Amino acid sequence: MGKIQLTKVRKAFGEVDVIPGIDLTIEDGEFVVFVGPSGCGKSTLLRLIAGLEDTTSGTIEIDGKDATNLPPAKRGLAMVFQSYALYPHMTVRKNIAFPLKMAGMDRAEQDRRVERAAKVLNLTNYLDRRPGQLSGGQRQRVAIGRAIVREPAAFLFDEPLSNLDAALRVGMRQEISELHQSLKTTMIYVTHDQVEAMTMADKIVVLNAGRIEQVGAPLELYNHPRNLFVAGFIGSPKMNFIEGAEAAKHDAHTIGIRPEHIAVGDGPWEGVVGLSEHLGSDSFLKVAVEGIGTLTVRAPGEVAARHGDRIRLAPAGKIHRFDTNGLAI
Q: Of 103 and 327, which has the nearer Cβ to other proteins?
A: 103
- Type of residue found at 24: L
Q: How far apart are CA 22 and CA 160, in angstroms?
A: 24
Pick the stretch among 22-30, 78-86, 133-141, 218-226 that binds other proteins (CB under 8 A).
Answer: 78-86
52 binds other proteins (CB under 8 A): yes
81 binds other proteins (CB under 8 A): yes
Other beta carbons less than 10 A from residue 125's beta carbon: 9
Residue 179 Cα distances to 145, 197, 214, 219, angstroms: 11, 16, 26, 22
3-state SS track over 212-255: EEEEECHHHHHHCCCEHHHHHHCCCCCCEEEECHHHHHCCCCEE
Q: How far apart are CA 139 and CA 85, in angstroms?
A: 9
83 binds other proteins (CB under 8 A): yes
Q: How far apart are CA 305 and CA 169, in angstroms?
A: 33
Q: At closest approach, how far in Å is the CB of 207 from other proteins?
A: 19
Near other proteins in 85-114, by CB under 8 A: 85-89, 98-99, 102-103
Q: Of 159 and 196, which has the nearer Cβ to other proteins?
A: 159
Are 322 and 256 contacting, i.e. CB atoms less than 8 angstroms apart? yes
Pick the stretch among 18-26, 71-79, 285-293, 317-325 that binds other proteins (CB under 8 A).
Answer: 71-79
11 binds other proteins (CB under 8 A): no
Q: At closest approach, how far in Å is the CB of 105 from other proteins?
A: 10
Write the interaction track for other proteins spanning residues 150-169; mark x where CB under 8 A is met and - where it is not.
x-------------------
CA nearest 23: which of 75, 54, 60? 60
- Type of residue found at 163: N
Q: Of 93 and 261, which has the nearer Cβ to other proteins?
A: 93
Pick the stretch among 49-57, 202-210, 221-229, 285-293 that binds other proteins (CB under 8 A).
Answer: 49-57
Which residues contribute to the site for other proteins (CB under 8 A)?
Answer: 50-54, 71-73, 77-79, 81-83, 85-89, 98-99, 102-103, 146, 150
